[in-house]
Amino acid sequence: MKGLGELERSIMDVIWAQHSAVTAREVGRLIADRDLAPTTVMTVLDRLTRKGFLHRTRDGRAWRYEPAESRDAYIAELMLEALDLTGDRSAALTRFAQAVSGNEAEILRRALTELEDE
């Protein structure tokens, strides 16, 4: 999975927060704090579509954009890529487990138990 640049990440954050597909104009309004030209928003949306982060469908003369995957799926993929960078996955996972809070550790335990039960 390719990474996201700062502007791409900001736009994906806006799109992930929506409950339905959005147009470039809507994205521009939702990211108004960045004061971006409409063409910049459209260029980034097109690039995110080509990278596989977004799906788009025609809506009249406009495109509607929605995430190809959830934010959680994206973050999980980043975590797996980070594990691939280490020469010792066991050591990295152990360090990660030592760094999480008690509540997070319990969530991990439950998820692993559910996987084992499948």
User: Is residue 6 predicted with pLDDT exceeding 70?
Assistant: yes
Phi then psi dihedrals of residue 62, to 5 deg: -100, 165
Residues 77 and 74: their CA atoms lie apart, in Å, by 5
pLDDT in tens, 38-90: 999 999 999 999 999 999 999 999 999 999 999 999 999 999 988 989 989 99
pLDDT in tens, 20-30: 999 999 999 99
- pTM (whole model) above 0.85: no
Do 28 and 19 touch, CB atoms closer than 8 A? no
Q: What pLDDT was estimated at residue 89?
A: 92
The two structure tokens encoding residue 45:
């949306």
Do 108 and 93 touch, CB atoms closer than 8 A? no
Q: What pLDDT was estimated at residue 9?
A: 93
CA end-to-end span of the chain: 27
Q: What is the mean pLDDT of residues 90-113?
A: 92
Instruction: Find where tokens 């990474």 sit.
Output: 3
Q: What pLDDT was estimated at residue 34?
A: 80
> Mean pLDDT for the chain?
92
